[in-house]
Amino acid sequence: MLNYQLLLEEFKRILKEKRLKFTKQRELILQTLYENEGHFSPEEILSLIREKMPNIKIGIATIYRTLALLEEQGLAYSISLGKEGKKYELGLKTHHDHLVCIGCGKIIEFFDEVIEARQEEVAKRFNFLMQEHIMQLRGLCSECQKKKK
């Protein structure tokens, strides 16, 4: 996993480059994404921050504005599939993909070089500058297959 200091430096660098300001709120949002594995809605991020820092003044509008900024800069990305609303996750993480068991919810991480290489090729084929990818294989893990029988 990327070191937080590096991530923070990168964020500051981007802000400086765009002549935007580094604020406590912006830092907290980045930090929250960093410290919490998983995907969060703007509301959830706000709760996490208020839980951790009950005295900080921060509103939902700032969360939205900052997440949009982070996403534009590739430091975060959002995704929504199925029923759930839009969720944000930190970008720049060590890459990995997931096998997700729809029976018990277990998540297995994996990494496959052949797929990775091939994804690069696909991106090139479409003249795409790939920054991230998401891959989830969904199905039943071995235990849940047994249960079904």
CA distance 76 to 30: 9
Asked if 65 touches DNA (CB under 7 A), the answer is yes
Asked if 25 touches DNA (CB under 7 A), the answer is yes
Asked if 43 touches a copy of itself (CB under 8 A), the answer is no
- 24 or 112, CB closer to a copy of itself? 112
Site for DNA in 82-111 (CB under 7 A): 83, 85-86
- 56 or 122, CB closer to a copy of itself? 122
Asked if 74 touches a copy of itself (CB under 8 A), the answer is yes
Residue 118: phi and psi, rounded to 5, are -65, -35
- 6 or 104, CB closer to a copy of itself? 104
CA distance 50 to 126: 43
- Asked if residues 57 and 100 have their Cβ atoms less than 8 Å apart, the reply is no
Token pair of 63 as six digits: 């969360």
CA distance 66 to 72: 10
- 64 or 110, CB closer to DNA? 64
What crossing angle do the helices spanning 42-52 and 60-72 adopt, rounded to 10°? 110
- Asked if residues 25 and 61 have their Cβ atoms less than 8 Å apart, the reply is no
Chain positions contacting DNA, by CB under 7 A: 15, 19-26, 41-43, 56-62, 64-66, 68, 83, 85-86
Chain positions contacting a copy of itself, by CB under 8 A: 68, 71-72, 74, 77-83, 86, 99, 101-102, 108, 110, 112, 114-115, 118-119, 122-123, 125-142, 145
